[in-house]
Amino acid sequence: MEKLNEKAPNQSYSSWKEKSESDSGSGTKETTFVVCAICLETLQEDDPIRKLSCDHIFHSLCLAKWFLKRHETCPLCKASFMRTPEKPKSPVQIPERAHTR
């Protein structure tokens, strides 16, 4: 659980919503319902949530249960949220075969 807390710390849905509205720059509050894709329940203002690096959000407890079943990918997009991205490797050079006749 420590790794999960490090990669996706708990926060309240209302604080996440406030921050995402201010980041969008619109300043208008839209009526939007966000659903946890694991339990399919609508997120409520005081619900603890976790936001993954792919920007998907879930109930904190739902994601913890998902993680404890040894899932290290987002339930929606399957992006890994536990591993740090690796540097791309240089392409493998395949030597040309000597043509023998």
To the question of pTM greater than 0.85 for the whole model, the response is: no
In this prediction, residue 89 carries a pLDDT of 54
Q: Return the CATH number at 20.
A: 3.30.40
In a domain, 77, yes or no: no
The residues that bridge with 35 in the sheet, in sequence order, are 42
pLDDT for 55-68, tens place per residue? 899 999 999 898 88
Between 22 and 14, where is the model more confident?
Answer: 14
In a domain, 74, yes or no: no
Task: For residue 74, count CB atoms less than 10 angstroms from its CB and return exposed for 0-12, middle for 13-18, buried for 19 or more.
Answer: buried
DSSP 50: E
| CB of 81 closer than 8 Å to CB of 63 | no
Say how many domains are in the chain: 1
In this prediction, residue 26 carries a pLDDT of 56
pLDDT at 92 over 60: no
In a domain, 55, yes or no: yes
Note down the domain range covering 43: 1-69
